Amino acid sequence: MAVEYKDLPFEEAIAFFRKKVNLPTERWTNVWKSAHDSAFMVAGAAKADLLADLRGAVDEAISQGTTLEQFRERFDETVERTGWEYRGGRGWRTRVIYETNLRSAYAAGRHAQLTDPDLLRTRPYWRYLHGGSADPRPDHLSWDGLVLRADDPWWNEHYPPNGWGCSCKVVAVGPADLERLGKDGPDNAPTVQREPWQDPTGERQEDVPVGVDPGWNYPPGRSVAERTRETVERKRAKLPDALGTAMMGEIRARLREDPDDLE
């Protein structure tokens, strides 16, 4: 299922993407899992001007809603100007860059919303929803409708997207929602089976969960959110209780917009 603008831009996703730094790389494995929270990379884009152009095109897609076809026009202009000799066909390469960055930014934005303490108090469960792909991955389809506590360790490696082109997502669920779903409580987390994987170059090797593509077994945005919460807690600990509580009420919105202001 193609990414659509109506599914994407909101402040948390935009802020997540704009906090990244450009990182020239040779291979897609050079930046691994949660390191993507802090780095913007495109495999094989090792020149600073090339990476800056590609980043600008992705930023427009996330913040302004440019389509894949519009992104491809920018991509063609960049390739012509820089002389970049990329691997793979144009259609496949542009779709991977466009969709991977948009889906990850959206997932990170959703993670920021779902982990808001106020929301967790009223909706402490997360429900996995399959993205509706015409050619679904069997494992992702088997997880459709699964409800677990938000702090269940299963999410550490299965918070979507769970692979290239994955459009699955998570929604918050409360006790009343569980009742409507006919559940007395959250489900039991599926047993995690693993299989060995090694990058053909030998740079990476690990046992990955079955059903999750290598490098995708992490929650996008969580590392950024954790650093932000640590900063806030350090500041609140230095204040009297009443003042600390008031501070949290005032800055929660700001935390989503510009965490660095708190440093």
Report the candidate in 160, 185, 165 with the shortest Cα–Cα distance to residue 175: 185
Mean pLDDT (the chain, rounded): 85
Give the Cα separation of 246 and 219 in Å (integer). Answer: 30
**pTM value?**
0.80
Give the tens place of pLDDT for each residue, 9-32.
468 889 899 999 999 998 989 999
State the greatest distance between any 2 C-alpha atoms of the chain, in Å, as a whole number.
60
Give the tens place of pLDDT for each residue, 147-201.
999 999 999 999 999 999 999 999 999 999 999 999 999 999 999 999 999 998 8
164 vs 234 pLDDT, higher one: 164
Task: Give the pLDDT band (50/70/90) at residue 8.
Answer: very low
219 phi-psi bin (left φ>0, alpha ψ -120 to 50, beta other): beta
- Average pLDDT (89-104) is 95
